Structures are given as C-alpha cells and as structure tokens.
Chains A and B, each alone.
Chain A
Amino acid sequence: MDARTRPLEVYVDLMSQPCRALLLFLRHNHIPHTVKNVLLHRGEQKTPEFTKLNPMQKVPVIVDNGFVLTESDAILKYLATTYKVPHHWYPQDPKIRARINEYTSWHQTNTRPHAARVFILEVLMPRMTGNPPDAKKVERALADLSETLDKLESVFLKRQPFLCGDEITLADLLAICELMQPLGSGRDVLKDRPKLDAWRERIKSAMKDTFDEVHMYLYRLRDKARL
C-alpha cells in the first residue's frame, strides 16, 4: 500500500441510523475502512478533538486521506462514486440518479425526523428524565410517521420493488435504517404494513448477514424492551 494512502476512517455510533446505513454500504461492498466509535450516549461527539473534526458534533463523519466529509447523504454518494461498487447503488443515468436524490431530499424532512421522534420519545427521553414516555406526544409522533409510511407506500413503492426502481439504491439503505430505529422500544412500525414489510425483507435479502450484524445493538435494546 502506498504510504500516502490510508484506509478510509469512519466515525460512527451504531445506535445512529445514518451511521448504520453507511456501515451497511461499506461492509456489503467490501470497502476497506477503519471504524472509530464515537459513543453519543457518553457525549463523545462533544470532545474538543471530535468538534475540531466536525463542528456540528454529529456522526457519521468520514476522513478519506485527509478529505473530511459529513452528512450521510453526501458521504454515501461520495463513496458510491469514488469506490468501485455496483452501479445500481447510485447510477450515472441522470433520471435514475434524480429519483434517488428526490428520495434522499424528502427523507431529511419526512422519514428521518418522524421515525427518530418515536425513538426519542419512547427510548431517549425516558432514559434521560426517568419518566415514562408522554403518551399524547407519542400518539402525535406515530400519526406523523403514519403519514410518512403512507407516502412511502403510495408514492415511492407504488409500482416498484425498491424506493427508486427495480434495484436497491442508497435511498433504501437510508430509509430502512431510520424505520428500524423505533425497534429500540420494542416497536416494529412496519409489521402491520405488508408492502413495507416485504420491501424490508427484500433489503435484508440483498444485504444478507450484514443487515443483522449492523443492527445488533438495536436488536439487543429491542429484546430488553420486550421483556
């Protein structure tokens, strides 16, 4: 290996949805990388060292031979174009690529906040405050998430097996990791939605063992919650 070439460094926390999407992509495509864990529940994203790397104090971050990049959306697209991966992840065709960009945009203000809110209300806030989840707020959050799930079914998955076409793309990875997050309180938001459940199975099938490996900590939380 060239002395100037260092393996890709990825700063992640497996409890973070976009971090899992990144790790799924890296592992599935056998892209060599070094994982640097940044444990959010210990506040490690707030250390002076990490803040110097990312003033936003967020994960994931990658460092590719000195090139620092934040924002999972940008990171996944960068990796898909820099490394040799199958074209279906982020095709060159401008129209298919536009569909992926269309989803990843909408994702930021729909799937991501709405699924995350359920997890925050049912897992993070009780952990921080010692109080049980606020039932009214949870109900409202589930209603927002339900609208998002309706749109996923009726718009993105209307006539195709994956969000942006016939093959799995970066969009599916980002989406599924968000929708898995509420499992942290034992809640499976896709279980009563056969169309979305089937889409999840297709992703799991495409990603094979990597999917469950990356979700290991989340499954542990789920199992504890269901006791």
Chain B
Amino acid sequence: MALEVYCDLLSQPCRAIVLFLRALEVPFSTMEISLLKGDNRTEQFSSLNPKMMVPVIVDDGFVLTESVAIMKYLAARCKAADHWYPADIQRRAKVDEYLAWQHVHTRPHAMKVFHLEGLLPKLTGQPVKEVLLSRALRELDETLDLLENMFLKDKKFLCADDISIADIMAICELMQPLGAGRDVLVKRPRLNEWKRRVVDHLGRQLFEDIHRVIFSFKDLQPPIQRPSHLIAFCEKLCGVSS
C-alpha cells in the first residue's frame, strides 16, 4: 500500500489524519504543503485538489479529500480495530452524527478563536479584534456545553466508552486555540478528563510531537510571509469586514 498524505500540521484535520495513521502503525509518506507559504495554491497541487485544501491522501493512485471521508476510508482500508469506526450500525451512526455536527460547531468555532487571536494578528500585524473574539469565545463556549452534555455525557469518549475517530477529530480542533496560547478546556474538568484519556490512548509523546507546530506558533516572530489568500480566507470566516 503506497499511501501519501498531503498535509500541513498547522491544520487541525491534517493532524487528525496523521495521528490516526501513526496510532494504526500504518506506513505512509508525508508531503508537506505549507499553507503559510501558499503551497496549496500551486498549479501542481491544484491539479491534485482543485479545491486547494489540505488534507489530501493518495492511496495507490486513489485521490481523496475531506478529512472526515479520509478518516472513514482509512479505518476500512487499514483494517483498523472496530472501536475506531464500529461495524455495528447504531454505534457507527453515532460517530457519523458527531462527525456531521462538528462541521458547523467544533470546527469553525475553535478555528475562529485561533484565527482571531493567533493567525490574523501574526499575518496582518493588526491587533486582535476584541469584539469579534468575544463573540467567537461565546460561540465556542456553547459548543463546548453541547460537547459535554449532548455527546460526552457520562461516557468515557464522545460516542462510546471506547475511543473512535470522532475523538481524534475533536481533540485536534480543540487544540487549535493553543496556537494563540489559549487552553479552551482548562475550566472544563469533564472535557479535560476526556482529553487526558484521548492523549493517553494515542500516546503523549506522539500527541505532543504532532502538535509541536501549534505549541510553537505563538512564538513565531514577525515578519512572517503574508499570503493574501490565507488572510482573505481567515477574515471571511471570522466576519472581519474589509
């Protein structure tokens, strides 16, 4: 199996895929695509993925985009242990339910906090837009409430008492604000406990290694390159008017 993963560890879904493959001990090659340098906008990359986004995998010529689709495909292709993406229809449906929900909750809400507090200020040299950040933090707070009370409840992991691909996707999203030095789980003991269980399962060393880009992001000194497309994308996502 010749598996290539086109990724940037700055991106949450990219980290999820790399973590999953490492947890499965599946061999793969990493093709680094730097979003900050605009590698995703080259002719070469856009011929691979016209949507110009990471992650992308190429499995013996089969090209696949969209991290949720990739995670589910890899679970089958790599014959992952059942708990990652259960064969039982109802248990699987619960993982599908979280992975659908997170597109418009966990993902954008955690991402906005990082963009407003971390990425945009570094890229533009402008101060943090405090009003927008307050709103983003409130939205994220509501999402975290739902994560605790609708998904986690009294289980050990989001969808069952065993870890699944939903947990890997979620934890990577919730790590993102740390790129600006903000731990969004610090005042949430139940979610913090869940995080500890996820990290223990994946391996603390591996988890921290994959997240090194995020841990060191806040120390990135300006000037850093200013890819205008990335700035435009972030501003649009965060509702920053031009």
Contacts and interface: CB of A to CB of B under 8 A. Distances in A.
Contacts of B73: 94-95, 97-98, 101
Interface residues of A, number: 30
Given A56-B146, A105-B103, A94 B97 contact: no
Interface stretch (B15-23, B63-71, B187-195, B221-229): B63-71
Contacts, number: 83
Contacts of B204: none
Contacts of B66: 101-102, 105-106
B100 to A, nearest CB: 4
Interface string A71-110: 1111101100110000000000011011101101110110
Contact of B100 (A67, A94, A108, A154): A108
Interface of B: 50-51, 62, 64-70, 72-73, 76-77, 89-90, 92-94, 96-97, 99-101, 103-104, 108, 146, 149-150
A69 interface: yes
Given A56-B146, A73-B100, A108-B100, A67 B90 contact: yes
17 contacts: A67-B93, A69-B94, A70-B97, A71-B101, A73-B100, A74-B96, A74-B99, A77-B96, A78-B89, A78-B90, A78-B92, A94-B77, A95-B73, A101-B69, A105-B66, A106-B66, A155-B50
A169 to B, nearest CB: 13
A77 B64 CA distance: 19
Contacts of A155: 50-51
Nearest to A78: B93
A7 interface: no
